[in-house]
Amino acid sequence: MLVVNGSRLECRWIGQALSGRPVLVFLHEGLGSVAQWRDFPDRVAQALGLPALVYSRAGYGGSDPVRLPRPVDYLNQEGCLHLPAVLDHAGIDKAILVGHSDGGTIALVAAGDEGRRQPADPRILGLVAMAPHSFVEDLCVDAIAKVAEIWRRTDMREKLARYHGDNVDCAFHGWNDTWLRPEFKRWHIRDFLAAIRVPVLVIQGEDDEYASLEQVTVIRDLVPGGARTLVLAQCGHSPQKDQPDQVAQAIVAFVSALLPDAA
């Protein structure tokens, strides 16, 4: 456990932190947790020879719960306040962020946050954002509304409880209810994207049910210097599950170029 901003956070270390070497920090999706990454972080960390930290945000997995409803800017708060505190308490002075969905958004916010720090957090050397959200699309809201119906009509709650335990209602409603609030449609992170100064890799599936490829275009166009992009065929909202080999290879190639001993 890490104790961050008054909350205990479930975490898992892969390998040992080495002086002068960056740490991969994995940031889960809107209904994710440490366990739901399965062995994907292990594969990437082993291929790169780097340590990794995987953690469940407050309200998820085995971490402490949070008070609901979440604020509309909860993703901004995660990137601006909570993730930097995680790096502080974990003793990480060089980080490469790997985020999925909400986690990808949080990584983008953290790398572009110039409101609290000038410049943005120097510990972040680069980031990989898989299926991130930079603004709210109608197709995403429609998909999330369908998930709410599935929650009501099926055993989805029991299945998620295997990963979230007593946090299952907090995890679901903190995500689903917030995204379905009318005022959330106005949320976006365009200002954060324009402030990013580190290398970015965006990965998205052509068949992503929560986002169009406009998400990739907006990030590529707004990040100064552009962002590397990888769009995968026959891939939905979870590239690391639908195309694990290709995604792992892309991440390894991207991160390898960021390491101090890269050619």
Can you list the domains of the chain with their CATH numbers?
Answer: 2-256 (3.40.50.1820)
* Average pLDDT over every residue of 32-44: 98
- The first and second tokens of residue 102, run together, are 């909400």
The three-class DSSP label of residue 127 is strand
> Which pLDDT does position 115 carry in this prediction?
57
> Which pLDDT does position 114 carry in this prediction?
65
Phi/psi of residue 102, each to 5°? -55, -35
The three-class DSSP label of residue 118 is coil
Digit-coded pLDDT (tens) for 78-129: 999 999 999 999 999 999 999 999 999 999 999 998 655 455 789 999 999 9
Q: What is the value of pTM for the model shown?
A: 0.96
* Average pLDDT over every residue of 189-214: 96
The three-class DSSP label of residue 124 is strand
Confidence of residue 68 (pLDDT cuts 50, 70, 90): very high
How far, rounded to the nearest angstrom, does the alpha carbon of residue 29 sit from its chain's CA centroid? 6
For the ranges 61-65, 109-113, 118-122, 146-150, which has the lowest average pLDDT?
118-122
> Which pLDDT does position 102 carry in this prediction?
98
DSSP 146: H
> N- to C-terminal Cα distance for the chain?
37
DSSP 89: H
Residue 233 has pLDDT above 80, yes or no: yes
Q: Is the peptide bond before 65 cis (omega within 30 degrees of 0)?
A: no
